[in-house]
Amino acid sequence: MLNKLLNWSSLNSAIGKDAYRSIKKILKYIVPAYIQNEKLDPASPIIHLRISGDGHNIRRKVKHVMITVALLDDSAKLFEPNYHYTVVLFPGIENYSTLKIAADTLIRELQELSSIGMFIDNIV
């Protein structure tokens, strides 16, 4: 369902074809459900995120790196894969120079969220 609502942005960058999904759009979609289920408190609008990534072998020779985000505020579902949202996906191996290029938009969005914040349903 989330994949249908939040479009992937395809990017042609120095590392080849990679895909990015906005963390802001993901938060706008999932935060109201977390508030409704009382996992987030609107009176204390601080969200704790877990950013993780890993390389995967797809078929025999094609390798991909995936970066995901999960909300730490729901510890019961933290390790369930349905509650990890993919934000960056690109072909290649894990190394710092490639990760820096692929995660550039994610880093900028996280810096903006940290310094400015965002409104979701009239809550900062």
On the question of pLDDT at 109 being above 90, the answer is yes
**pLDDT single digits (tens) 95-105:** 888 888 888 88
Overall average pLDDT of the 86-101 stretch: 83
For residue 115, the one-letter residue type is S
Which residues have CB under 8 Å from 70's CB, separation 6+? 49, 50, 52, 78, 83, 84, 85
On the question of pLDDT at 38 being above 80, the answer is yes
What CA–CA distance (Å, rounded) separates 39 from 31?
9
pTM of the model: 0.77
